[in-house]
Structure 1
């Protein structure tokens, strides 16, 4: 009698069934395994399943057998535990730079890393449609292109846009390209994630300075055959984490060293903002001084204002005056 060609796939199907259907809370008996294989077009004997499971165990699959009532075979451990998968799902949900469509696709792939019962637990915490998401579907591929450019060490060109109001059009919120649609050409050095958005940190040849660009507002990115420039600005002294800390909301401004007077109870807020290596000096029993490098911008002033007077700008005087000027302008 001819052998069923599906028999060659028996071990693979058995592995798939165990990974999809079982976990510590969900086990399959020998009869249930045989039935599942039968639905895949594979007839098998108990003895062969015992040897197949032993082969899977030798291969490294953590297949366990629980004897007794409600017992059976199950996968005891996986590359990702359920709490780790939930963490990944949460990160995707909270990421504004990933579109709703791409979020759902990624979460579906994450579910495949768990058993089907565990995947249903992941589905119960998915609320992607209620989150604010970018509308630029191409960002997922833009990031990959930019990583390639950084690794290859070449310059890129792209168009950069912003959202603008146009009440004369039926589509009132529309794209408006910077520089009238002319191409930007920069040397990419790093990608950073700040305030739920991805940014490219690059050297701008025209201004001879470090600039950053929101990746979801970049279009038609192309790699060139020109080697990137700006090494003198990025070598040794440049730290992407420090750059993100001092550029508030990724809004550029003139970089200054400012001295702040802060209430002691806000040390955690300052540590979260500027990192653990703060140089703290006692001011009095209730306050301390710190010096930090910041890009002075309206966003920096908004951060200071939002702390309700608990943080005060002491010096330099021109930064204090600029802060007072912005407060007066808001009052007016």
Structure 2
């Protein structure tokens, strides 16, 4: 006869409730006993009264057990229904993991497996139909999760870091910038923009704040050298930096077709400075970093957007449109 002590029985009962029951799946006492026999062998002896005492003990110690008393003398059914996360919240977490480009395919599978363990086995199966994303966009870099951990630590402790940085060439080979020389920076913040993690930091060599794609960092090293607290508005920096390209910040005005109002609100928020121009257009006024990223963003809207000011940006966009026209004429 197989016997287990009270503590092991109580822990096993919690596991059975957590993994096999929810609001749509319940177990009777006979079914719970059967689960124990499947785990410990058919000669496992378990008294129903002891099992009831265990259930009451769990309830008295704040472990949720819902008891469903059927009518007409039918047996009671038991289930663990309260979870820290609702099923729709877990689905959002799964979708976010699948969509994140900086997470590798292998890490995506591992994270989804862990998320499914936050609910019952039955509800976990419902999380298998995650949104479909082109797997070719997922990162292949195994360094990202380690870099993110180190960067968070350095930011929290306000410690200098060094790293190497690089990019892919036309042959899809990853090449380190500056011949592999180390970048030394003061890390201010991590932000997620345009489906990528970015490090925002003060770069000593250039004497300015810059941002770096985390998936392009290599050999991140936290130094013993620290730096004092410096206030830094992350959201303001990100909002003024189109597509995370650097450039000089200045006020710009762009005329848009009315049908693009939601696109602009999604980009800048409801409090952005927009004014009606005529029945079909509105004017956006915003402080932004004038850069190639900004120009490309404007050109995305084709004839539905026109730069009003500054004159230098107007001329640059006009020249780019002319170059595009020549390209197609040839």
TM-score, normalising length: structure 1: 0.90
1:118 CA displacement: 0.9
Counterpart in 1 of 2:91?
86
Counterpart in 1 of 2:55?
53
Counterpart in 1 of 2:147?
142
1:93–1:131 CA contact under 8 A, matched in 2: no
Q: 1:200 to 1:142 in 2, by over 3 A?
A: same
| More deviation, 293-302/3-12 | 3-12
Distance 1:328 1:58 in 2: 76
DSSP-derived class of the 1:40 partner:
helix
Distance 2:124 2:190 in 1: 32
After superposition, where does 1:221-236 map in structure 2 within 5 Å? 221-228=220-227, 231=230, 235=231
Q: Please, which runs of 5 or more residues in structure 2 have no aligned partner?
A: none
1:131 CA displacement: 5.3
Q: How many residues align?
A: 320
| More deviation, 15-24/128-137 | 128-137
| More deviation, 142-151/310-319 | 310-319
| More deviation, 45-54/275-284 | 275-284
Q: Please, which runs of 5 or more residues in structure 1 have no aligned partner?
A: 166-171
For residues 83-114 of structure 1, the C-alpha deviation after alignment (integer angstroms, 9 at most, x for no partner) is 11111000000000000111111111001111
DSSP-derived class of the 2:8 partner:
helix
For residues 127-158 of structure 1, the C-alpha deviation after alignment (integer angstroms, 9 at most, x for no partner) is 57735200111201110100000011011001
For residues 246-295 of structure 1, the C-alpha deviation after alignment (integer angstroms, 9 at most, x for no partner) is 21221112222101222333222111111222223332233222310111
| More deviation, 11-20/276-285 | 276-285
Counterpart in 2 of 1:168?
none
Counterpart in 2 of 1:246?
240
Distance 2:311 2:190 in 1: 34
Distance 1:133 1:6 in 2: 48
Distance 1:151 1:130 in 2: 33
1:203–1:229 CA contact under 8 A, matched in 2: no
Counterpart in 2 of 1:100?
105
For residues 60-91 of structure 1, the C-alpha deviation after alignment (integer angstroms, 9 at most, x for no partner) is 22211223379621112211111111110000
After superposition, where does 1:182-261 map in structure 2 within 5 Å? 182-228=181-227, 231=230, 235=231, 238-261=232-255
Counterpart in 2 of 1:164?
169
Quick one: which of 296, 315, 319 aligns to 1:325? 319
Distance 1:105 1:124 in 2: 16
Counterpart in 2 of 1:4?
3
Quick one: which of 279, 293, 297 aligns to 1:299? 293
Counterpart in 1 of 2:80?
75
TM-score, normalising length: structure 2: 0.91
Q: Are 1:63 and 2:65 counterparts?
A: yes
